[in-house]
Amino acid sequence: MKEQFKSSAFILLAVAALSFNACKSGLSSGDIAGTYVNDAQSEASIAHDTLVVEKAGDDNYLLHRKTGFRLVVNGKPGKYLYETEEWTAVADPKTGVLTESRKGKVIKFPDSHSMTVGKRLYRRLN
């Protein structure tokens, strides 16, 4: 009876530990590769931002940023402009945070449907 209790307690602890680990946000919660979007608007501009996250190696990621925006002049949106950037980032598997290599941007994954870059929140499309 005592051995059965020890075995049951061990299984319960193992399941609890796995469940806790699965609930953590960030890299440990699964594959973060995908397409993320953010829309922003201010008095000065209107922007549509897309970030494509791609795994490049063990703890390395490539991020392809595409931004379309219009500057607002005299209250009216101007010509549509387009920019692209390529980022590289290194993951910290313990914290689930990516750090962009060139400017040190901090990229977090609060859940499986979103990503933050600094204060900007992106939603995942796929």
pTM for this entry: 0.76
- Helices vs strands, H then E, count in the chain: 1, 8
Residue 123 has pLDDT above 50, yes or no: yes
List, as one string, the DSSP characters of 38-96: EEEE-SSEEEEEEEEEEE-SSSEEEEEEEEEEEEEETTEEEEEEEEEEEEEEEEETTTT
13-53 confidence digits (pLDDT tens): 343 333 344 344 445 445 899 999 999 999 999 999 999 99
59-116 residue pLDDT tens: 999 999 999 999 999 999 999 999 999 999 999 999 989 999 999 999 999 999 999 9
> Strand, coil or helix: what is 110?
strand
> Which CATH fold would you assign to the domain 2-124?
Lipocalin (2.40.128)
